Chains A and B, each alone.
Chain A
Amino acid sequence: MADTIRFLKPREAVLSRRAAIIADLTDLLPPECLVHEARELVPFETDAFVSYRRLPLAVALPKTTAQVAAVMKYCHRYGIPVVPRGAGTSLSGGAIPQEDAVVLGLSKMSRILEVDYANRTATVQAGVTNLNISEAVGIDGFFYAPDPSSQLACTIGGNIGMNSGGAHCLKYGVTTNNLLGVKMVLVDGTVIELGGKHLDAAGYDLLGLVCGSEGQLGIVTEAVVRLIAKPEGARPVLFGFDTSEHAGACVADIIGSGIIPVAIEFMDKPAIEICEAFAHAGYPLDVEALLIVEVEGSEAEMEAMLKAIVEIAGRHGVKTVRESQSATEAALIWKGRKSAFGATGRIADYICMDGTVPLGKLSYVLNKTSEIVDRFGLRVANVFHAGDGNMHPLILFNANDPEDAARAEEAGNEILKLCVDAGGCLTGEHGVGIEKRDLMRHQYSEADLNQQMAVRSAFDEDWILNPSKVFPLDGRPAA
């Protein structure tokens, strides 16, 4: 287990009252909604950022907003840290607990409460999975747009916490652009509603502030999300290039031409090889970089857009062009890309970075990334959302070798600093969590961070909500 990233020192006053706290929580929740046996706590000790783990004090799995409010009110009263959790798929450690914390898991609140096609909204409980929404409304011709890779498992509550993106946000935006309202429990147990089926906030845009706040402003228990009519069809085209510069310039030209594809995905040679070996998608192995560009709409629209896109690729010396002629071919093109993380996991351990850079800096950052990784004696595979500059270098290492793991962490930090220095940011869609917390000063000035922390304090004066995350542990406002 890695140990570079620190957690807050557990509050002694909480640890020493463990038995009493569990007894009190037993009064507040039905028996099936409370987990506190050491053995049963293990599944909650980490998330998808598995190099760090901490056993929580207890896990509350409420079934109603009233139960969430009761737990919050209690924890607030006694200064007990609370770590919210959806499906535990965070790649940045956003859901990793700490020894003095009660994990507040929303997995039992997993009902779709209402689908309203006249207003194109779905009202759902926070524990509903992302994919469940699209599946529930798909038969009627609608879908919910943000589609993080973990959409089979990840919950809408977690998506709101991290302001999740996905492959298709180039056209449809990320969670914050598709969220209309929430019901939310404040730190003291007060229940509020922000937004609803109408658009825009009445007062301050607290909804916009809550989205992406990584569970530090309150517990979202219900959400109203926007539904969109499903396009008639979608079709990908695959391009192979001799250099990543050519691929990068092609991306910038497609975007600049006035065509907005729904997705532009990039893979470098190591990623192509890993995915092809696993998925047999027929990817060309004689190219340095591969783009998957997807357009959607009617037949006429897709044809017109693909024609223009293929022309642009031609101007950038494209070596391989594969247009999909059927649904099977389209699925095959995507299969390799979608299995990238799984396929990489079969050959090595990896950490996935998430910096975003301006489109014009893509190839510069890719080259520098290789240099950094080389210097640490490691390997890297790049698979990412090129259309919006959201890089995902996968740094390969051996988790059984603590030195290798430490080197991977260090290389990752350098890559993220590189992204910031290139005019980008530390994280495009995975969140800060614990992973990038100590790099926040590289992106923000002291005054910038202090302002964010002050606003955070307006919601949670004592910093009991997910307290080890997002902001560097030193320099926090005194409670």
Chain B
Amino acid sequence: MTLIPNSETDAAYVIRNAASEGKKLALCGGNTRAGFGNAAEPAEMVSSTGLSGIVDYEPAEMVMTVKAGTPVAEIEAALAANRQMMAFEPMDHRGVMGTLGEPTIGGVFAANVSGPRRFVSGAARDSLLGIRFINGRGEPIRAGGRVMKNVTGLDLVKLLAGSHGTLGFLTEVTFRVLPVPQTVETIVISGLDDAAAAKAMAAAMALPVEVSGAAHLPQTVRFRFLGGGLPAGEATVLRIEGLDASVAVRAEKLAAVMEAFGPVSRLGLEESQTLWRQIRDVYPYSDGTLKPVWRVSIAPSAGHQLVAALRLEAGVDAFYDWQGGLVWMRMEADPEAELLRRYIRALGGGHATLMRASDAVRAQTQAFEPQPDAVAALSARVKQKLDPAGIFCPGKMG
């Protein structure tokens, strides 16, 4: 059964009761990211979908407050009407996870979901200014506020962002929004191998042209984007956004430098929008299978080294976002969790999250990167302070 409280008071009541009975709760929004984390213990579901609607939106202040169960689509429509957007480009996981339903804004922040612009404009957590949530005692708690600069007290906002419903039940979120850029262009450099692409992307990021997207799409995935419309060969893609006049100048400058790496072509506004949405949503691996998919965050220069090392020992297909620092990998068969995580450590650190796999594989694999003992102990103490009875999603993150 799923409980759907329709007020913060009701949500607090449900959670307070569960805490007093020691009853476990699985917190969710639209359930489009239901497969995240370790296979959870059975628990009663509490959904935020009953808490929906825009509470306050001041376009001139670039701030929006909404109830946590508000559909992302509703928020995007309200923002688009004012030519604004969420700068962190929240990914839609339905394709790659094979889920149905409506993604909610609470789910976006609970999982700290960000897209291609993250490596320059920050993650979901960087846009999140304030929250209301119910802690494991059933108490409504407010953290942060609705102003951009706020250092008053401990930043529980960051802590709750990305805690996957294991620390509290989000009921309301306030976040910063930004103007939609007037125009977008994409520079495509063709035919670079992974290592050369890493060099080209690093060179692009060192230029004063404000690249806001840097991805590398190897041969095996290239044809999946834009209906196969990208030029032949591997595609290294760089996005430039902003005012019309300025984009033209910056794109010209970037293209001139990138010609030293390989043949350069350009995509205009509409193709760029489609391409970056497909990169955001991991289009190549939205394939209706349960082949294991990893999401790896690593130093940008190490991404391709990781894939090269892994290829010698396992069947792996990969593409790169965030200048090479975000690696999406689809494994042919075994997830090779231990091997992968050993290589990540050897390459200076990072983390691998198992996004998708069959139930059998999930049951045997730690979905989130295991933490060093001292950090794990500290995290457990923090969890205990927010959820003393351990009722929220037990086992999902630990």
Contact = CB atoms under 8 A, between A and B. Distances in A.
Nearest to B322: A199
A298 B250 contact: yes
Contacts, number: 279
A203 B379 contact: yes
B386 A455 contact: yes
Given A117-B206, A359-B60, A447-B139, A163 B369 contact: no
Contacts of A163: 151, 155
A431 interface: yes
Nearest to A454: B385
A117 B202 contact: yes
B368 A451 contact: no
A208 B141 contact: no
A193 B371 CA distance: 10
Interface string B357-384: 0000000000011011011101101111
Contact of B162 (A205, A252, A432, A458): A205
Contact of A209 (B139, B150, B154, B372): B154
Given A186-B374, A444-B142, A174 B152 contact: no
Nearest to A458: B381
Given A177-B126, A199-B325, A432 B153 contact: yes
A200 B152 contact: no
A174 B149 contact: yes
A448 B142 contact: yes
Nearest to A439: B152
Contact of A448 (B143, B179, B322): B143
Contacts of A456: 154
B301 interface: yes
Interface stretch (B70-78, B89-97, B307-315, B347-355): B347-355
Interface string A132-150: 0000000001100000000
B332 interface: no
Contact of B141 (A118, A200, A359, A451): A451
A93 interface: no
Nearest to A207: B158
A258 B246 contact: no
Nearest to A218: B378
B299 A255 contact: no
Interface string A417-442: 00000011111111110001000100
A211 interface: yes
Contact of A203 (B153, B243, B300, B368): B368
B149 A256 contact: no
B378 A459 contact: yes
Is chain B's binding surface mostly helix, strand, loop or mixed?
Answer: mixed
A206 B58 contact: no
A300 B125 contact: no
Taking residues whose C-beta sits less than 8 angstroms from the other chain, chain B's interface range is 35 or more
Contact of A360 (B58, B119, B151, B208): B58
B152 A425 contact: yes
Given A203-B397, A447-B140, A192 B153 contact: no
A88 B159 CA distance: 28
A321 B384 CA distance: 57
Contacts of A455: 154, 156, 159, 382, 385-386
A192 B372 contact: yes
A119 interface: yes
B206 A208 contact: no
Nearest to B198: A118
Interface in B259-283: none
Interface string B274-303: 000000000000000000000001111110
Contacts of A207: 158
B148 to A, nearest CB: 4
A458 B246 contact: no
Contact of A423 (B60, B123, B140, B146): B146
A204 B249 contact: no
Contacts of B182: 258
A212 B299 contact: no
Interface in B117-171: 118-119, 122-123, 125-126, 135, 139-143, 145-159, 161-163, 167
Contacts of A230: 208
A200 B297 contact: yes
A301 B158 contact: no
B5 interface: no
A203 B375 contact: yes
B249 A431 contact: no
Contacts of A380: none
A118 B161 CA distance: 29
B178 interface: yes
B142 A186 contact: no
Given A304-B246, A451-B135, A258 B149 contact: no
B394 interface: no
A451 B139 contact: yes
B231 interface: no
Nearest to B179: A258
Interface string B232-259: 0000000000110110111001000000
Interface string A344-379: 000000000000111110000000000000000000
A302 to B, nearest CB: 9
Contacts of B351: 198, 200-202
What are the nearest 7 A-B pairs in CB distance? Answer: A208-B158, A258-B179, A301-B246, A256-B60, A428-B149, A202-B351, A197-B299
Interface of A: 116-121, 141-142, 162-163, 165, 169-170, 173-174, 176-177, 186, 190-194, 196-209, 211-213, 229-232, 252-253, 255-260, 297-298, 300-301, 303-305, 356-360, 385, 388-390, 423-432, 436, 440, 443-445, 447-449, 451-452, 454-459, 470-471
Given A206-B379, A252-B60, 5 more contacts: A176-B126, A196-B299, A301-B250, A304-B243, A455-B154
Interface of B: 58-63, 83, 112, 114, 118-119, 122-123, 125-126, 135, 139-143, 145-159, 161-163, 167, 178-180, 182, 198, 202, 205-210, 242-243, 245-246, 248-250, 253, 297-302, 322, 325-326, 348-351, 368-369, 371-372, 374-376, 378-379, 381-386, 397
21 contacts: A165-B149, A197-B298, A197-B299, A202-B368, A209-B154, A209-B155, A211-B155, A212-B154, A231-B208, A255-B60, A256-B60, A260-B179, A301-B245, A356-B150, A388-B149, A424-B147, A431-B151, A444-B142, A444-B153, A452-B153, A456-B154
